[in-house]
């Protein structure tokens, strides 16, 4: 079992990274092979909506998303982590998620070449916001839950936490435990 962590924050070693690392530690302890991708260190262009991938299953944009796509296909579970930027996910996470179009045909069915690897994949989410009301991240949760529902993947749940200063989340034992449990669930599901 492979659990892939996708870190959407441009701030390495910040709150989103700390919780994602904790989730991956939970997955590893549960016996999974883990890998973390830091989107801010990758070159990922936004989707051009050219629709060529709907016919071929291949994106015309030659960037780091091609490598990430292979890792997505190989993983049994993916845990995404993004802070809230202006009531939504970061630009890095949005560009990455939009490029998932490559997995679908024009009718939003899995491409035949990818269907067996994508159907039933497990998806989890970690969100952080500076607001004391963690529901400031509801739009991010909605985006991921809607994608999972549409594609009949398996929703592992979301860890929603509040932290403002860099590294502040490390003192939130509840959030750390929830992230660890999400990782365990990703590996054991």
Question: Residue 67 is encoded by which pair of tokens?
Answer: 């490598």
Which has the closest alpha carbon to 182: 118, 121, 126?
126
Which has the closest alpha carbon to 123: 46, 178, 182, 36?
182
Which has the closest alpha carbon to 33: 81, 71, 80?
71
Q: For 63-121, where are the E strands, in sequence order? A: 77-83
Strand order across the beta sheet in which 2-7 lies: 33-38, 2-7, 77-83, 122-129, 154-162
pLDDT tens-digit series, residues 123-153: 999 999 999 999 999 999 999 999 999 999 9
pLDDT (0 to 100) of residue 189: 67
Range of the domain at 176: 2-188
pTM (predicted TM-score): 0.96
| CB-count exposure of residue 28 (10 Å: 0-12, 13-18, 19+) | middle
pLDDT tens-digit series, residues 5-56: 999 999 999 999 999 999 999 999 999 999 999 999 999 999 999 999 988 8
186 sits in the region (left: phi over 0; alpha: psi -120 to 50; else beta) called alpha
Question: Residue 172 is encoded by which pair of tokens?
Answer: 């939130």
Measured in degrees and rounded to the nearest 5, phi and psi for residue 4 equal: -100, 130
Mean pLDDT of the chain, nearest integer = 95
CATH number at residue 49: 3.40.50.360
Measured in degrees and rounded to the nearest 5, phi and psi for residue 166 equal: -55, 125
Nearest-angstrom CA–CA distance, 139 and 162 = 15
Give the mean model confidence (pLDDT) for residues 172-179: 98
Q: How many domains does the chain have?
A: 1
Handedness of CA 74, 23, 129, 142 (dihedral sign): positive
């Amino acid at each position: 079992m492979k659990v892939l962590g996708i870190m959407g924050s441009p701030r390495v070693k910040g709150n989103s990274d700390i919780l994602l690392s904790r989730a991956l530690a939970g997955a590893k302890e549960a016996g999974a092979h883990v890998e973390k991708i830091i989107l801010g260190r990758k070159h990922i262009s936004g989707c051009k909506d050219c629709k060529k991938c709907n016919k071929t299953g291949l994106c015309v944009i030659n960037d780091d998303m091609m490598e990430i796509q292979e890792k997505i296909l190989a993983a049994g579970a993916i845990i995404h982590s993004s802070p809230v930027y202006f009531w939504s996910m970061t630009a890095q996470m949005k560009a990455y998620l939009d490029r998932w179009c490559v997995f679908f045909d024009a009718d939003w069915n899995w491409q035949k070449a990818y269907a067996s690897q994508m159907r039933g994949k497990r998806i989890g989410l970690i969100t952080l916001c500076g607001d004391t009301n963690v529901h400031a991240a509801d739009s991010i949760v909605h985006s991921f839950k809607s994608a999972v529902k549409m594609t009949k993947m398996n929703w592992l749940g979301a860890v929603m936490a509040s932290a403002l200063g860099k590294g502040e989340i490390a003192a939130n034992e509840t959030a750390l435990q929830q992230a660890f449990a999400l990782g365990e669930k990703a590996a054991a599901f």
